[in-house]
Amino acid sequence: MRWKLNSSVYKRVPSREAAMEPDVETPMRATTDAVADPSWRMSLPHVCVATLTSFLFGYHSGVVNEPLESISADLGFSGNTLAEGLVVSICLGGAFIGCLFSGSVADGIGRRRAFQLSALPMIIGAAISALTNSLEGMLLGRFLVGTGMGLGPPVASLYITEISPPTVRGTYGSFVQIATCLGIIVALLIGTPVKDIDRWWRVCFWVAAIPATLQALAMEFCAESPQWLYKCGRTIEAEMQFEKLLGPLHVNSAMAELSRSERDDGESVKYSELFYGRHFNVVFIGAVLFALQQLSGINSVFYFSSTVFRGVGVPANLANISMGISNLSGSIIAMVLMDKLGRKMLLSGSFLGMAFAMGLQAVGANRQFLGSTSVYLSVGGMLLFVLSFSLGAGPVPGLLLPEIFPNKIRAKAVALCMSVHWIVNFFVSLLFLRLLEQLGPQVLYTIFSSVCVIASIFVRRHVLETKGKTLQEIEVSLLQAQ
């Protein structure tokens, strides 16, 4: 099914009148008579606080990479590969649980409180990990951190989408990926002295508690999502938050746009309702996007890059730095281009770039015939793959899904689709080395490349462009298309 946005744009009467006459709408005047777009400066501080969740996600994803050997030696499970694997991967289990409940939490207590709730297990989990003297304590701490990692990012995607002016929503959405990259890089830098300073790994975990605490406190001064307040029937409060985010000149037009949303009947949407009826198609697209993102092989690259680089003679430290720079560079470029080229073009082009890069790795795996050239193809292909991923396949799904989901189902639908992300992530990470052993790198990388081509075709056929559109314009267009 292909959806296209309706080109007609409407401007409503002031919000209080719109609440009384919800079906009255008048054509928007020509752009020359319209009020200038809202300033991005007013919403920027709120977005920056929200992206601390993504920084923490990146930090905790990379915090055990360097210190794992020291942790296992100090806690008495050195050489136990199963225990070491659990320390790394138990976060995925916690993240799945946290993500699954994130929609209900965000709808139940609001976006701001959901951020604070997600920070709590990250603070407690980091402290337990830093203080523990046993494997069990480390696993408990990492599991708690994982629940926060699962709960926070879906709420961040919701919050940033709902509070951002349409003209910069794509740019702000890219902050999530940039913050994640910075978190990974900081984790690698903080972990550098771990082999020279005794028990430095405990400091690595204590550092993680700082941004989590900062976010929990700073959220007290941030705006609540007007979309959520309106959904709860708190219209006056929604107007106050719009004034804080957009300025007083844009409150009436923002509330008028908001009144075009699908009416909420006051009852909570159940997860089962997302699998049938009018919302199934859009939820299906979101779930498939996240599944394809993970089936592209990106996390096999992130998790096992050091192994691959060492196999071609490249030191692990240089590999990690190169991967971090490539990821961050692509994310910055995506931030600049997101509101210029649009989501669909970046996403489709990103998957095609990943397909080409994975093809290079498949060719480079044939060392018998290529000799030293295979090293350049393997390393270059991996760096190009990460760069291509960060240009679109990384940042766009988390931004696009809250845009295309109606306000009524947005929180739960995002949670459901991101849960698919964690499930596929787990199985790809679990099976990658086994498949690499059974199929060989050429076949496996060719499969990943094929998935990327399929993903690009899927995007072109089924994903709509949302650049510069208000959330209500997108929602109305989708409902008209069904």
Closest Cα to residue 111, out of 54, 162, 70? 162
246: left (phi over 0), alpha (psi -120 to 50) or beta: alpha
Which pTM was predicted?
0.81
In order along its 482 residues, the chain shows pLDDT tens digits of 444 444 333 333 344 344 434 443 434 433 434 467 788 889 999 999 999 999 999 999 888 877 888 899 999 888 887 888 788 888 888 999 999 999 999 999 999 999 999 999 999 999 999 999 999 999 999 999 999 999 999 999 999 999 999 888 888 988 998 999 999 889 888 988 888 888 899 999 999 999 999 999 999 999 999 999 998 889 999 999 999 999 898 888 888 878 766 555 445 667 777 787 777 888 898 999 999 998 998 877 776 666 667 666 667 667 777 888 898 999 999 999 998 888 899 999 999 999 999 998 888 777 666 666 777 787 888 889 999 999 999 889 988 888 888 888 888 889 989 999 888 888 887 787 788 788 888 898 899 999 999 999 999 998 888 887 877 777 766 655 55
419's CB contacts (< 8 A; 6+ apart) are 96, 99, 100
* Cα–Cα dist 405/399, whole Å: 11
Q: Is 170 left (phi over 0), alpha (psi -120 to 50) or beta?
A: alpha
Q: What's at 346, amino acid-wise?
A: L
Structure tokens at 477: 């267009």
